[in-house]
């Protein structure tokens, strides 16, 4: 009798494996996407970790891997080279890359930063009071830093002779230290990174003089989502799924910031919760929650404004202004506007 019972149990077990667990197998068989954020894991990009952990991307039909980045200037290179299928970055180094490499096929598929946070920061107690005072001074930044990459456009707009700037190339984690230790006169970057990292090192906001590029005639967009034209054409539904999950995660995080920071801390146990909470708030308030976004929704893009950004970057680098907004940006993969309203449902 025992062998018969064993065979029957085996049959039932096999049937079970082909039955209920099929749902689990379907979940694990979701298409995978390698995604890169723009910088180290911090408050502003914690929403992607939160969405991953809460299953928002799986709900949309994609198994996403989220990796840290090393500067918005490197993101276009990594995506165009195939290291990542999709990523987020400050749009302005992306514009520079597209202008210099028009045949690389890079494509912006959404813009969630309605205002630019790119800036140059100096000590408030220094003699540098206006951008022109930067001439002859030393600025520290990684080569891939967005603020450094777009500095030539800032220089044109602010009347700086860029040839008189001395650059000190450093690793990302050493940038703020150079200013704190007075080994550089200033640093470039996005204010969400520089201002709060300086504060964490003991240089609080009143001790900083921040020169936002947007205050000197550069009406630039901020962060965007990027892929390649070839990948989007081959995987349109997958690109839509990632964007649906990303916007859902972003909206949820701005409503539940503590949850986003908890997801960040789960990934980076040494996270300074107070600093990253403030960094996240600066990103939301200064880059994302503009009047335009509150009124019209996320990634409602003005082609004329995007075109001015293209022209400014091309002029600063002496490139032919041949790239048009429609060459590098499309809204074809965005979720419905109802899923892109900060006041909308989750």
- List pLDDT tens digits, range 44-71: 999 999 999 999 999 999 999 999 999 8
- Evaluate the CA torsion angle 264, 269, 271, 274 in order and state its sign: positive
Residue 30 CB neighbour total at 10 angstroms? 16
- Evaluate the CA torsion angle 281, 107, 316, 308 in order and state its sign: negative
pLDDT band at 28 (very low <50, low <70, confident <90, very high): low
Model pLDDT, residue 183: 98
Q: Report which of 254, 341, 280 is spatially closest to residue 45, judged by C-alpha positions.
A: 280
Q: Tell me the percentage of the chain whose pLDDT exceeds 70.
A: 91
pLDDT, tens digit, for every residue of 264-278? 999 999 999 999 999
**In the chain, what are the domain boundaries?**
31-115+220-339, 118-216
Residue 184 CB partners (closer than 8 Å, separation 6+): 138, 139, 140, 168, 178
Rounded CA-CA distance 160/119 in Å is 14
Residue 116 CB partners (closer than 8 Å, separation 6+): 90, 92, 212, 213, 214, 218, 220, 221, 222, 287
Q: Which CATH superfamily, name and number, covers 31-115+220-339? A: Periplasmic binding protein-like II (3.40.190.10)
Q: Which helix (H) or strand (E) holds 110?
A: strand 106-111
Helices 46-54 and 257-267 pack at an angle, to 10 degrees, of 90
Rounded CA-CA distance 5/213 in Å is 77
Q: Which residues make beta-bridge pairs with 87?
A: 36, 226
3-state SS, residue 182: coil
pLDDT, tens digit, for every residue of 159-199? 999 999 999 999 999 999 999 999 999 999 999 899 999 99
Q: Which residues make beta-bridge pairs with 329?
A: 108
| pLDDT above 50 (res 285) | yes
The per-residue pLDDT of the chain, averaged, comes to: 91
pLDDT (average), residues 18-32: 60
Q: Which helix (H) or strand (E) holds 25?
A: helix 22-28
Pick the CATH number of 118-216 from 3.40.190.10, 3.40.50.1470, 3.40.50.11540, 3.90.1300.10: 3.40.190.10
Lowest mean pLDDT among 18-27, 170-179, 326-335: 18-27
Cα–Cα–Cα angle for 295, 300, 305, nearest 5°? 110
Predicted model pTM = 0.84
Residue found under tokens 């200064």 = 286
pLDDT, tens digit, for every residue of 188-227? 999 989 999 999 999 999 999 999 999 998 989 999 999 9
Matching CATH topology for 31-115+220-339 and 118-216?
A: yes
Q: Report which of 344, 91, 102 is spatially closest to residue 225, judged by C-alpha positions.
A: 91
Q: Report which of 141, 115, 109 is spatially closest to residue 329, judged by C-alpha positions.
A: 109
| pLDDT above 80 (res 23) | no
Q: Which helix (H) or strand (E) holds 225?
A: strand 223-228
């Amino acid at each position: 009798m025992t062998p018969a019972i064993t065979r029957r149990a085996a049959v039932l077990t096999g049937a079970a494996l082909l039955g209920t667990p099929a749902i689990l197998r379907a979940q694990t068989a979701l298409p995978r996407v390698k995604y890169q954020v723009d910088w180290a894991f911090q408050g502003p990009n914690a929403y992607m970790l939160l969405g991953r952990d809460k299953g928002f991307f799986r709900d949309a039909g994609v198994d996403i891997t989220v990796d840290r980045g090393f500067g918005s200037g490197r993101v276009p290179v990594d995506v165009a080279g195939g290291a990542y299928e999709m990523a987020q970055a400050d749009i302005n180094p992306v514009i520079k890359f597209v202008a210099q490499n028009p045949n690389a096929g890079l494509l912006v598929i959404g813009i969630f930063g309605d205002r630019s946070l790119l800036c140059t920061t100096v000590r408030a107690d220094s003699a540098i009071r206006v951008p022109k005072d930067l001439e002859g001074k030393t600025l520290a930044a990684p080569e891939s830093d967005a603020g450094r990459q777009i500095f030539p456009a800032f220089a044109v707009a602010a009347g700086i002779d860029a040839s008189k700037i001395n650059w000190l190339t450093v690793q990302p984690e050493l940038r703020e230290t150079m200013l704190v230790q007075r080994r550089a006169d200033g640093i470039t970057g996005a204010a969400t990174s520089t201002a709060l990292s300086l504060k964490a090192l003991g240089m609080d906001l009143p001790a900083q003089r921040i020169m936002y590029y947007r205050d000197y005639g550069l009406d630039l967009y901020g962060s965007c989502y990027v892929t390649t034209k070839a990948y989007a054409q081959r995987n349109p539904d997958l690109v839509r799924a990632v964007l649906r999950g990303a916007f859902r995660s972003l909206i949820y995080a701005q409503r539940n910031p503590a949850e986003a920071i908890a997801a960040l801390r789960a990934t980076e146990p040494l996270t300074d919760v107070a600093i990253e909470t403030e960094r996240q708030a600066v990103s939301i308030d200064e880059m994302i929650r503009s009047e335009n976004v509150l009124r019209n929704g996320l990634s409602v893009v003005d082609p004329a404004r995007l075109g001015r950004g293209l022209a400014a970057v091309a002029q600063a680098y002496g490139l032919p202004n041949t790239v048009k907004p429609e060459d590098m940006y499309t809204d074809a993969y965005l979720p419905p506007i109802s899923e892109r309203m900060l006041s909308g449902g989750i």
